[in-house]
Amino acid sequence: MKPPKHTLRWIGAGLVAVGIWLKRRQKQDLRASPSVLRPSHPDKPEPELLRFDRLQDRVVYSEDDLSGLKEDCSSEGNYRIARLKGIAGNSFTLHVYNGSPATLQLRVYGRSDDGVKPLTECIEIREVVKKVKVDGGLPGGGEYIIRFSLADNPEEKFDPADFVALAVYEREPPAQPGIRYRALGNQPTDGPRTVLSFSHNRKSFQRILLSSCEADGEYLRKWAGRTGLEEAEAYFGPLGSVVVLGIPPGLDPNTTGGAAARVRPQKDTIDATAEPDYIVNARHPDDPTNREGDVDKSPTGPRGDSEPVFRPHTKFDRDRTPIVVSVVDGGVDYSVHNRNHWEPSRYDRPLESEFVKTGGLGYDFIGKDKEPQDEAPHGTYVAGAIIGGYRAEAPLKMVHFKIFGEEAISSYFGALVGIFEAATVKSTIINMSWGMYAEKAPPALQCALEAAVKQGCYLVASAGNDTTNIDKTPQWPAGFSTVSTFKKHLITTAAYHYDGKPTADAVRLSKFSNYGPRRVTVAAYETTRVPEFNSGDTTFPLGTSISAPIVTARLAQFLADNPGATLSDFAGLYERAPSLSSSVAGQAYLPMNQGETVG
């Protein structure tokens, strides 16, 4: 039975009324007073931001607030006003973050007893960040007023997450130190390295990165173009792409990244992210810009005078399928003292990538060349633990991705590209003896590791050396062990030692080791004998950075001896130590193998 025509008319009228109401709700006129912006302290890591949200709403200010402000810089009625208070001098720098699709038309005014006068021209802001220098202000007192309109937004649509933020400095944040670095593709490899500067918050470099495991380079470059920032370096691989954008000094990378995320094209169709280019510190992940210190060492292993010598296995059965291990770290010491250690495992597989070539040792992402010479030293110890502990018949082939330079500090970009490249050549295992603390999982890192898992790679990560519970304060990539994608592919490694004889009851978590009964998969011994850097001697470095490659060596040998085996099968080698009940999942530890050189 059809409803009467008058009923249909009522329904139609009702729908129209609802539509009008929803449209009005979406775009309201709000009465407001100008927001107050106060100066940021140049020595504090974060700016004092004044943030404007709900950009779809039109704000109505009083006549007193608008008195004397000319309309010549506002092409539309949708605008915002801020009052600047606390300025002692007559000059300052305004930092503008535009996290919206609109072009901003901004002008700064001064109001005193003599009236209102414009202190800047009408400034058009299309990029996501801009500095506005204001000189010759109001030496006799008064107030500053900032007004901007949201212009040239053809569809007049704003997402609820769109924003504009302002910060102001009387004295700009001071220049920060950094690391010696050569940008990928932008500097000659035979020229001097420049300084890659830390950001003011000292958690990242003064850069952001755009990344995706789906998008091609054209998409990321289109996105980068919308930000208005200069491309610093980029990587476009078959499994993922990363574009790094430089940020003018003093501007905040976190807010810049948030603004860049708002101008992403086709937001709902491609998985891509914007993040700061985080600092990855091999020695001090809890203090990322700390360039001091050395690797702690033990005078000997637990066997004392009976400790096995360092003698890597070199007699392989060439008819067996090789095990390929990629080490994303600091490279290796290729001095006359140690170069022979790496030759038997030099990569000779036919599968190549942009930075992995048959017959090579790997790649240097600090110096941008094919010689991953360790400078830290850190990678030498990690790689030494792997070749010293491997005893299988199948050939061991290693790729050394040098991401740490002499400061033992890497860019997030370098770590990501190293992982993508290791996955591209289908490494059996990727060893990552480093980490970075963050409350939430870094999406670009998760993307790169997921790409590696899809290639069939196993991942081994160190838990860290800060006596920190990573269940509560996660370090990445170690923290991914509880994510379903990685449970069958990632081993997070803590460190232990023996309090007496080498039995389960004598196992103790190392005093420096991070821990976590959920996120830590297993504990391995805290040291092993490895070649000393630039020396013919050997040494016993301490740390989960060494425990991780001890696991990598054992896993590589296990997979070589048991083709088709899984991490669940490898876990059959674990034993249980009661003292690890609150530190490691299932109280698991990897006992010393008497046939290896592990300490």
Active site residues: 329, 378, 545
Residue 203's SS3 state is coil
Question: What's the gap between Cα 518 and its chain centre?
Answer: 23
- The pair of structure tokens assigned to 153 is 């937004």
Widest Cα–Cα separation across the chain: 100
Which among 362, 33, 398, 411 has a CA at the least distance from the CA of 232?
411
Residue 202's SS3 state is coil
Which among 40, 36, 84 has a CA at the least distance from the CA of 172?
40
- The pair of structure tokens assigned to 541 is 């470095």
CB atoms within 10 A of CB 444: 25
In DSSP notation, 318-360 reads TTSPPEEEEEEES-B--STTTHHHHGGGB---S---SS--TT-
Residue 210 and residue 242 in contact, taking contact as beta carbons nearer than 8 Å: yes
Which among 575, 578, 584 has a CA at the least distance from the CA of 514?
584
Helix axes 253-261, 217-227, angle to 10 degrees: 120
C-alpha distance across the termini of the chain, in Å: 86
- The pair of structure tokens assigned to 7 is 């009923």
Instruction: Give the separation between CA 315 and CA 221, rounded to whole angstroms.
Output: 48
Please, where are the H alpha helices in 57-151? 63-66
- The pair of structure tokens assigned to 261 is 């995320």
Instruction: Give the separation between CA 27 and CA 419, rounded to whole angstroms.
Output: 46
CB contact burial 464-502 (16+ within 10 A = b; e otherwise): bbbebbbbebbbbbbbbbbeeebeebbbbbbbbbbeeee
Q: Are strands 490-498 and 458-462 parallel, antiparallel or unpaired?
A: parallel
Backbone angles phi, psi at 344, to 5 degrees: -60, -25
Q: What share of the chain is helix, strand, coil (3-state, %, to 5)?
A: 20, 30, 50
CB atoms within 10 A of CB 62: 11
- Residue 196 neighbours by CB under 8 Å, 6+ apart: 178, 179, 180, 181, 183, 205, 207, 411
Residue 165 and residue 49 in contact, taking contact as beta carbons nearer than 8 Å: yes
Which among 416, 472, 467, 469 has a CA at the least distance from the CA of 439?
472
- Residue 91 neighbours by CB under 8 Å, 6+ apart: 133, 134, 135, 136, 137, 170
Question: What's the gap between Cα 223 and its chain centre?
Answer: 19
Give the gyration radius of the chain's Cα atoms: 29
Number of H helices, E strands in the chain: 10, 34
Residue 342 and residue 402 in contact, taking contact as beta carbons nearer than 8 Å: no
